[in-house]
Amino acid sequence: MMECLWCAKTIILDITWMNLFMPEKPKPLCRECVEQLDQLDGERCKLCSRRSEIEFCLDCIQWNKHATKKTIELNYSIFAYNPFIQAIITKWKYRGDYVLGNIFQSYFQQTFKDTFAFLKKDAIIIPIPLSEERLLERGFNQAKRLAEFLPMETKEILTRIHGEKQSKKTRAERLDSKNPFFMKEKLQKPVVLVDDIYTTGTTLRHAASLLRDNGCPKVYAFTLIRG
């Protein structure tokens, strides 16, 4: 018997000829909960994954005009932010219900396979780190959990100094903030940064900028949610 990881209801599978002979993988969520996730499909900004009719959204055009140097090539996200996924993320990372991460496993793997197929084998996955203080408080890093789902080499070579939570800052404060990251070792390979949410992209750009300064030729971002 399976229980939905989110609403704890028993999941009842419709039996078809297909799954009678080929049992499906256990599903983490029941159908009602799956339907509440807002998966990004259709037109999106090629740079930041925001829903957008035009190829590049106005924010990205603006950003590129003022950018002094290149940071991330692009960000790819799977879900749009809505109250449902917000509740899951809150319980997962702030309350610390570690197992909720499993909800995203198959989405994360499949989308990565479909989207980043062009990467060479030597690309490295780097999860956005938490500061030591935050890590002690939460017990785990949600970005690392997401990175573990991916079938490529992961290196935790970034560290982060303790500061205020990004989610507590205003947009202006975020865009203006100092780079909180440090690098433990040099790396001369393409990188995919992994994090749970892309909001203004500042965190990811800070990390990417540091990586590029230290030899990474290209840096991509792969995030669960486009905020």
Partner 1 sequence: MFDNQPLPEKSQLDKLPFLFSGKLLLRKEIALQDEDFQKLLKAKLLIQLKSITKRNFVYQCMRCGNQRPSLFATIPCHRCKNRHLYCRKCIEMGRVLECEPLYEWNGPRPDWTRHLAPSSWDGELTVDQQKAADRMVLAINNQEKELLCWAVCGSGKTEMLFPGITEALKHGKRICIATPRADVVRELRPRIQQAFANVTVQALYGGSDEKEATAQLIIATTHQLLRFKNAFDLLIIDEIDAFPFHADPSLPFAANRARAAQSTMLYLTATPRKEHRVRINQKKLPHTFVPVRFHGHPLPIPVMNMVFSLKRDLKNIQAPVPFLSWVKKRQNSTRQLLIFVPTIRLAEQLQETLATIFLKEQIIIAKDKLLFVHAEDADREEKVNQFRQKELTVLITTTILERGVTFSSVDVAILDAGHEVFDEAALVQIAGRAGRSADDPTGEVIFFHDGKTEAMIQAIQSIKMMNIRGGFA
Query: Which stretch in 18-26, 90-98, 119-127, 209-217 sits in contact with partner 1 by CB under 8 A?
Result: 90-98
Those residues whose C-beta lies under 8 Å from the C-beta of residue 159, and which sit 6 or more positions away, are 129, 181, 182, 183, 184
Distance (Å, rounded) from C-alpha 206 to C-alpha 202? Answer: 6
96, 106, 122, 217: which one contacts partner 1 (CB under 8 A)? 96
Spatial contact of 52 and 43, defined as CB atoms under 8 Å apart: yes
Spatial contact of 190 and 153, defined as CB atoms under 8 Å apart: no
Query: Helix count (H) and strand count (E) of the chain?
Result: 9, 8
The 115-154 contact track toward partner 1, x by CB under 8 A, reads --------------------xx-xxxx-------------
Nearer to partner 1, 22 or 136 (CB): 136
Nearer to partner 1, 92 or 220 (CB): 92
Is residue 165 a contact residue for partner 1 (CB under 8 A)? no
Q: Which residues bind partner 1 (CB under 8 A)?
A: 3, 8, 91, 95-99, 135-136, 138-141
